Amino acid sequence: MVKIAIITSKGGTGKTTTAVNLGHGLALSGKRVMLIDCDPHGDLGLVFSVDAEKTLSDLLRTGKTTVNQVRDNLFLITSGGRELNATELAIAPKTASAHVEHILAKLGATRRAEIASWATTVDGRHPGGRRWPGERPTGAPRQAERAGASRP
C-alpha cells in the first residue's frame, strides 16, 4: 500500500485539484485509490457530488465512517466540513495532555517537579535565577572570546 499526502498550509495552491486528478488517473490505471478529505472546506465531496452520512469527523470521534465509491477503483471519505474543525479541537487537547502525561511518567517523580517549575517561568529564565544548560549570562563573553581567540 502506497500512501500519498498532498499538503501545504497555504490556500489556493491546487491541493484538491491535484488529489482529484492524481486519484482519478491512478484509478484509471487499475490501482485502487482511497481519497480522504482532511480539509474542512470539504471540496472533494463537492467535486464528486457526495454527501456522506458518516465522514472523517465521525471516524475520528467514533471509529465509524462511510466509504463512498465514486468511480471504478476510486473511493472517498469526506471531511465533514466545519464539523471537522470542532472534532480537531475536541481531540487535540486530550491527545496533547495524554502525550505530556506519558512523557512525565517516564521521567519519574523528581524530574516531574523540576519540569513543573520550569513551566511556571514567565520570561523563559530558569527558576531561581539559574541558567539553563548551555546558557551564558547576559553580556558574558563566549569561552573563545575569553581565551583571546578571534571570531571567524
Domain-embedded: residue 72: yes
Percent of the chain topping pLDDT 90: 32
Indicate whether 54 belongs to any domain. yes
Longest dimension (CA), the chain: 73
pLDDT band at 149 (very low <50, low <70, confident <90, very high): low
pLDDT in tens, 95-122: 666 766 766 676 665 666 665 555 544 4
Residue 133 has pLDDT above 60, yes or no: no
| Number of compact structural domains in the chain | 1
Predicted local confidence at residue 136, as pLDDT: 56
**pTM exceeds cut of 0.85:** no
Q: Is residue 129 part of a domain?
A: no
Domain membership of residue 88 (yes or no) is: no
Domain of residue 45: give its range. 15-82
Is residue 140 a part of any domain in this protein?
no
